[in-house]
């Protein structure tokens, strides 16, 4: 199982983490990526497959105190964040001017 943290634009977003099977994870995240934006996910994958995957994923919320790593971030309604993740890899996050967000 892989853990996905969900971040959305809602004021009451609590940044929950859900467990996904390897197959479900592969539907959401393109190979080699750990950042996904929901509109891009739906543009890339079959809606019915995603519907079933998310139905199952939403049943597997994990308490943050019990999480053993986060394997992917899934953004909802936060298109403005796309500029920070052009490669859709968290470790390669950049500022809009192209400078790295993290040292090293």
pTM: 0.94
Would you say how long the chain is, in residues?
Answer: 104
Segment 8-51, tens digit of pLDDT: 999 999 999 999 999 999 999 999 999 999 999 999 999 999 99
pLDDT at 104 over 70: no
Q: Are the CB atoms for 45 and 25 separated by under 8 Å? A: no
Average pLDDT, the chain: 96
Query: Where does 1-104 have alpha helices with state H?
Result: 22-28, 38-44, 47-57
Q: What is residue 102's predicted lDDT score, i.e. its pLDDT? A: 85
């Amino acid at each position: 199982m892989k853990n996905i943290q969900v971040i959305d634009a809602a004021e009451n977003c609590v940044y929950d983490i859900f467990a996904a099977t390897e197959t479900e994870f592969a539907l959401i995240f393109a190979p080699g990526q750990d950042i996904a934006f929901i509109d891009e996910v739906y543009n890339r994958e079959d809606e019915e497959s995603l519907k079933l995957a998310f139905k199952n994923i939403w049943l597997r919320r994990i308490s943050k105190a019990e999480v053993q790593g986060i394997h992917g971030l899934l953004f909802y309604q936060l298109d403005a964040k796309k500029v920070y993740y052009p490669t859709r890899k968290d470790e390669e996050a950049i500022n809009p001017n192209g400078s790295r967000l993290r040292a090293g």
